[in-house]
Amino acid sequence: MQGKSMIVDTSLCTACRGCQVACKQWHGLPGTKTKQTGTYQNPPDLSADTYKLVRFAEGRKEDGKPYWHFFSDSCRHCLDPGCMAGDQNNSIVQDKRTGAVLYTQGTRKLNYRAVREGCPYNIPRQDPRSKVLCKCDMCIDRLRDNMVPACVQACPTGALHFGDRRRILHKVALRVVELKKHYPKARALNPQDVRVVYIVTDDPDTYFELAEA
């Protein structure tokens, strides 16, 4: 199965957070109460109410000028999902057509901690009320109707790009070559293992410590 894939090209991301909000809009997820703690990043983390989160990381480059990295974080939809490892009763499934990793209502019976620890990107979250586990579902209902995921639809700059996996991997390779001319550190993160492939132009951990597995 080739299925679908997504590029997250951080070199094009402006952190407008269209993806973060479009995800909430489509899924009917609430805005939660947050506090300003000295960062643009809010809510602070993924949760049962937030499947897509733009992470912000800043620092100072060698020349003394600042950098500000944006990382539109969500489920990578692994080809061999670690979160499924301990699931005996098909409550976590991979969609045949797209390869999307989907959490069903049955996940309420799973060991949350084990599922979360099985994910190298720390994505799964539990709804504290229903105990159901949740995360990005690749907008599977949109895909069925030939729409792209809500986050991809919203993205202004093409930082998020969706399509057939073979084509996407080809584009990733081309883009990395192009970026390397100006950014020697440019590369794709775990492209062979995940469906949501991030392209970075700096060390991955300067974006987010779990950017790469």
Burial of 61 (0-12, 13-18, 19+ CB in 10 A): exposed
Q: State how far the Cα of 129 lies from the Cα of 108, in Å rounded to an integer.
A: 10
Which of 127, 213 has the CB closer to another protein?
127
CB of 86 to another protein, least distance (A): 17
Q: State how far the Cα of 91 lies from the Cα of 102, in Å rounded to an integer.
A: 8
b (16+ CB within 10 A) / e for 184-201: eebbbbbbeebbbbbbbb
Q: Kindly state the tokens that stand for 53.
A: 């989160």
Which of 21, 210 has the CB closer to another protein?
21
62-70, 81-89, 114-122, 191-199 -> range binding another protein (CB under 8 A): 62-70
In the set 6, 22, 115, 197, which binds another protein (CB under 8 A)? 22
In the set 62, 80, 88, 96, which binds another protein (CB under 8 A)? 96
In the set 62, 88, 90, 128, which binds another protein (CB under 8 A)? 90
Which of 26, 213 has the CB closer to another protein?
26
Q: Residue 21 interacts with another protein (CB under 8 A)? A: yes
Q: How far apart are the first and last CA of the chain?
A: 23
Q: Are 204 and 212 in contact (CB under 8 A)?
A: yes
Give residues 159-188 in contact with another protein (rule: CB under 8 A): none
Q: Residue 79 interacts with another protein (CB under 8 A)? A: no
CB of 12 to another protein, least distance (A): 6
Q: Are 70 and 54 in contact (CB under 8 A)?
A: yes
b (16+ CB within 10 A) / e for 26-46: bbebeeeeeeeeeeebbeeeb
Q: Which residues bind another protein (CB under 8 A)?
A: 12-18, 20-22, 24-40, 42-43, 58-60, 65-70, 90-91, 93-97, 100, 102-106, 130, 132, 137, 140-142, 144-145, 147, 150, 153-158
